[in-house]
C-alpha cells in the first residue's frame, strides 16, 4: 500500500524531514531530524519550529512565514538556503534547508528537508587551516 511505503521512506530517510502548519507549529518529525536536533518527537510536536533555531531567525521566523503567506514571495521555498540549527544541548550546526509548500486535505502545510553540513564545514575549515 502506498501510504505504508511513503511512511517507510520518510522513517528511513537520511535527511531530516519536518512538517509544520501555516503558523509554524511542528506536526511531524522523522527519526533523522530527531537525532540531529536531539529531541524525541513528543518533545517538539505542537511547538513552534523556531525552537530549533538560534537567534536572529528564532525571533523572525513567524514573520518569514506570515510575509510569505501575505506576499507569495519565497526566499527559501523552491530555492534552498544554508542555515543554522539549534540542538537541544544548545549547540548550533549548519545545514542545507529545503522547504516545499503542500496543499493537504484542504489546508496548507510546509515540509522542510534538512541536510546536515557539519562534516562538510569541518572539512572546509581544515583545508583553510592548511592553506
Ligand atoms: C523562511 C530560517 C526551519 C519553513 C525562512 C527564512 C529563513 C528561515 C532565514 C527566510 C528569510 C528571508 O526572508 O530571507 C530557518 C532556520 C530554520 C528553519 C534557521 C532552522 C531550524 C524551517 C523548517 C520549515 C521552515 C523546518 C518547514 C517545515 C519556512 C517557511 C518560510 C521560511 C514556510 C517562508 C517561505 C520562504 O521564505 O520561502 N526560514 N528556517 N523553516 N521557513 Fe524557515
Cell of 2: 502506498
pLDDT in tens, 38-95: 999 999 999 999 999 999 999 999 999 999 999 999 999 999 999 999 999 999 999 9
Cβ of residue 92 lying under 6 Å from some atom of ligand 1: no
Closest C-alpha to ligand 1, atom 31? 65
User: Using a 6 Å cutoff on CB, does residue 97 contact ligand 1?
Assistant: yes
Domain that holds residue 32: 2-130
CATH number for the domain including 23?
A: 3.30.450.20
Residue identifier of the C-alpha nearest atom 28 of ligand 1: 112
* Ligand 1 center from residue 72 Cα (angstroms): 14
- Global model pTM greater than 0.90: yes
pLDDT score recorded for residue 12: 96
When divided into structural domains, the chain yields a total of 1
26-41 per-position pLDDT tens digit: 999 999 999 999 999 9
Rounded distance from Cα 5 to ligand 1 centre (Å): 28
Of the candidates 91, 99, 98, the one whose C-alpha atom is nearest the C-alpha of residue 52 is 91
Band of the pLDDT at 1, cuts 50, 70, 90? confident
Amino acid at each position: 500500500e502506498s501510504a505504508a511505503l511513503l511512511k517507510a521512506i520518510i522513517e528511513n530517510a537520511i535527511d531530516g524531514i519536518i512538517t509544520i502548519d501555516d503558523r509554524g507549529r511542528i506536526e511531524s518529525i522523522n527519526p533523522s531530524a530527531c537525532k540531529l536536533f536531539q529531541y524525541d518527537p513528543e518533545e517538539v510536536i505542537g511547538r513552534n519550529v523556531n525552537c530549533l533555531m538560534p537567534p536572529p531567525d528564532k525571533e523572525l521566523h513567524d514573520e518569514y512565514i506570515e510575509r510569505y503567506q501575505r506576499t507569495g514571495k519565497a526566499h527559501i521555498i523552491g530555492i534552498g538556503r544554508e542555515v543554522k540549527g539549534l540542538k537541544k544541548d544548545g549547540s548550533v550546526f549548519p545545514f542545507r534547508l529545503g522547504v516545499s509548500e503542500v496543499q493537504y486535505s484542504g489546508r496548507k502545510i510546509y515540509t522542510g528537508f534538512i541536510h546536515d553540513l557539519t562534516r562538510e564545514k569541518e572539512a572546509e575549515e581544515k583545508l583553510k587551516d592548511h592553506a
